[in-house]
Amino acid sequence: MGGTELSFVHEAFDTNWVAPLGPNVTGFEEDIENYLGHDVHVAALSSGTGAIHLGLKLLGVSEGDEVLCQSFTFSASANPITYLGAKPVFIDSESETWNMSPKLLEEAIIQRISSGNKPKAIVTVHLYGMPYKVEEIHAIANDYGIPVLEDSAEALGSTYGSRPCGTFGDIAILSFNGNKIITTSGGGALVSKTKEYRDKAIFLATQARDKAVHYQHSEIGHNYRMSNVLAGIGRGQMQVLDDRVVARRNNYRFYTEQLREFDEITFLDEPYGMFSNRWLSCILTPSYEVREKIRVALEHENIESRPLWKPMHLQPVYENEVSFSDGTSEDLFNRGLCLPSGSNLLEQDLERIIKTIKIALS
């Protein structure tokens, strides 16, 4: 916490605005809009997953449709596709950003169209805070007339060509879950280029209640709006977002400097024109065995680390879905490790982590 969050929370209690809606919700949405710029419109919601669900719904995804989705990601990027009765088609990554491969994306679009199943939307992800190849992905999407839902859950504070992540997709989403770069304990947001999408998202997020003096519903809605209390936490967090980005990038810099002597340990560099918030600092090892040697050594010291995301096309729940893979994400999963990356890590914490890794490697 940055220190000012409690003042907004106290204000919510003092004014008795505890339920969803209220001044903090409106203020938080405005804070995000001002931070992102580019005339975006924001709806504060209960989770990033809920934002993806509503975003896909706004893009017209329904039962039987196909949605192209990055495979190398957390399950929340893909699960909302199934909420709507649609089918995910998983696209593997490229090695420069670890995000969706433009080559495989276009290959998938051509193949699915030729089989009579033109995809209804594309879910792209800025993984671990690293922007995906925005220009290439969106050029392909535009060529085939397919809208993009930009999953920026891990990338608030990252930029592509100086433009903030979260402003590229027809619809974008943010997450304020407890592990994100800033948090409202639980929460998310839908970001739209149009006020119409934002207003419809709020309508659907508040049980799709029609304008009437009584309770009347012509559409199926959801209970996805953020509470005024949590939005108060978010308002305080927005004031320290830039500081959190600096802290995460300092963690990454420390790891790269300290592990430079080990040629077998590599990091994901920022491609030209990209700026990552370094939400998580990740390393690539030469093999699964080395990855596990480091992970287990850290675990023995009560230091948590975690393998990179297991690709969705390898998950039991999605093993029968269509995928376009060249083995990139599977290799990353086998060799990659996420190191402790919290914004509140002290220098002695980082030194203890590095000492453990160096002992394991030597």
Per-residue pLDDT reduced to its tens digit, 97-110:
999 999 999 999 99
With CA atoms as reference, report the closest residue to 169 among 204, 202, 197, 130: 197
Cα–Cα distance measured from residue 208 to residue 218, given in angstroms and rounded to the nearest whole number: 7
The more confident residue out of 8 and 341 is 341
Q: Output the pLDDT for position 331.
A: 98
Q: Per-residue confidence at 251, pLDDT binned at 50, 70, 90? A: very high
Mean pLDDT of the region 299-305:
98
Calculate helix-pair angle for 288-300, 328-335, nearest 10 degrees. 40
Residue 219 · residue 15 · CB < 8 Å: no
Specify whether the CB–CB gap between 329 and 315 falls below 8 A.
no
Give the pLDDT confidence score for residue 281 in this predicted structure: 98
CA 156-161-166 angle, to 5 degrees, is 30
- What sign does the dihedral 332-337-339-342 (CA atoms) show? positive
Q: What is the mean pLDDT of residues 5-26?
A: 86
Using one digit for the tens of pLDDT, what is the confidence trace for 252-297? 999 999 999 999 999 999 999 999 999 999 999 999 999 999 999 9
pLDDT of residue 91: 98
- pLDDT exceeding 90 applies to what percent of the chain? 93
**CA gap 125, 73 in Å, rounded:** 7
79-98 per-position pLDDT tens digit: 999 999 999 999 999 999 99
3-state secondary structure of 265: coil
Residue 6 in this model has a pLDDT that exceeds 90: no
Q: Is pLDDT of 150 > 90? A: yes
Q: Residue 21 above 90 pLDDT? A: no
* 214, pLDDT greater than 90: yes
Q: Mutual orientation of helices 347-361 and 241-258 as an angle, nearest 10°?
A: 30
- Checking if the pLDDT of 202 tops 80, the result is yes
Residue 12 is predicted with a pLDDT of 86
**What average pLDDT does the segment 7-31 reach?**
88
DSSP lists the bridge partners of residue 86 as: none
Distances in Å between the alpha carbon of 342 and those of 39, 150, 234?
Answer: 31, 24, 18
Q: What is the pLDDT of the chain when averaged over all its residues? A: 96
